[in-house]
């Protein structure tokens, strides 16, 4: 078996993190997901770039609240859907097109670009979610899908395939996510009324910055192995 299998845990952790963030952005937090988040325990872990974001999220979850699920649903609707606000500046709409098009409109060039990529991989948007394809949750979910492809290639010792999919991830990260997500998360922090979503914004940017380094390191290691 190739040494690529040794990278499987790192890639799985990346995949799980992308799926975790996907769930935070795709819909309001459900009671079952809230309990999972509340029970996270990092007390034995050394601090890293993600710690501040997690701490804000957990500070909300572990405080005594009458109805935290409703509180989060209200904040989600106001931040991402513009509910209760007549000014777009008081919302953070989770679409790449809004942040990359001149008139801040949805369904623009960015949406067409990511849709073409999804179709290349045989992916579609579930009819359960009637959202444009450049919604952040779907872009994060696409990165999780690519992580799965890298992991499968690593576990099967297919070095060329793993390197190719990692390169595709790096390109998507640079050409799409990092073009707009940092500004989007700044807007979340401006309008969020809960520490929970302020923490989600901080966690998102910190993870994307961290993941860029992880992908670059993995590519260097795998390419060296490929040449050896």
10-residue mean pLDDT profile of the chain (228 residues): values are: 68 96 97 96 88 97 95 96 62 95 87 94 73 95 97 87 94 98 97 97 98 94 74
Domains of the chain in sequence order: 3-227 (1.10.3480.10)
Q: Which residues contact 43 (CB under 8 A, 6 or more apart)?
A: none
CA nearest neighbour of 216 among 159, 158, 172, 170:
170
**Straight-line distance from the first to the last Cα atom of the chain, in angstroms, rounded to the nearest whole number:** 15
* DSSP-based three-state secondary structure for 45: coil
Query: What's the distance, CA 165 to chain centroid?
Result: 18
Residue carrying structure tokens 């993941």: 211
pLDDT of residue 195: 98
pLDDT of residue 3: 61
The CA-atom distances, in angstroms, between 134 and each of 88, 97, 101 are 18, 7, 12
Q: Which residues contact 150 (CB under 8 A, 6 or more apart)?
A: 11, 162, 165, 166, 169
């Amino acid at each position: 078996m190739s040494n690529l299998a040794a990278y499987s845990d790192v890639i799985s952790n990346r995949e799980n993190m992308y799926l975790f963030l996907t769930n935070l952005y795709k819909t309001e937090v459900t009671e079952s997901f809230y309990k999972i988040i509340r029970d996270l325990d990092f007390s034995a872990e050394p601090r890293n770039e993600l710690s501040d974001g997690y701490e804000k999220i957990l500070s909300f979850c572990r405080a005594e609240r009458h109805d935290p699920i409703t509180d989060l649903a209200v904040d989600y609707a106001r931040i991402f859907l513009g509910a209760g606000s007549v000014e777009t500046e008081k919302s953070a709409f989770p679409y790449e097109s809004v942040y990359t098009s001149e008139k801040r409109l949805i369904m623009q060039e960015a949406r067409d670009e990511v849709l073409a990529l999804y179709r290349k991989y045989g992916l579609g948007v579930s009819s359960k979610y009637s959202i444009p394809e450049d919604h952040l949750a779907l872009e994060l979910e696409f990165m999780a899908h690519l992580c799965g492809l890298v992991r499968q290639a690593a576990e099967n010792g297919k070095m060329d395939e793993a390197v190719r999919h990692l390169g595709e991830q790096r390109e998507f990260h640079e050409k799409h996510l990092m073009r707009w997500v940092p500004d989007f998360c700044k807007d979340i922090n401006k309008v969020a009324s809960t520490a929970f979503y302020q923490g989600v914004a901080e966690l998102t940017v910190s993870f994307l910055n961290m993941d860029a380094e992880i992908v670059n390191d993995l590519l260097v290691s795998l390419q060296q192995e490929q040449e050896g």
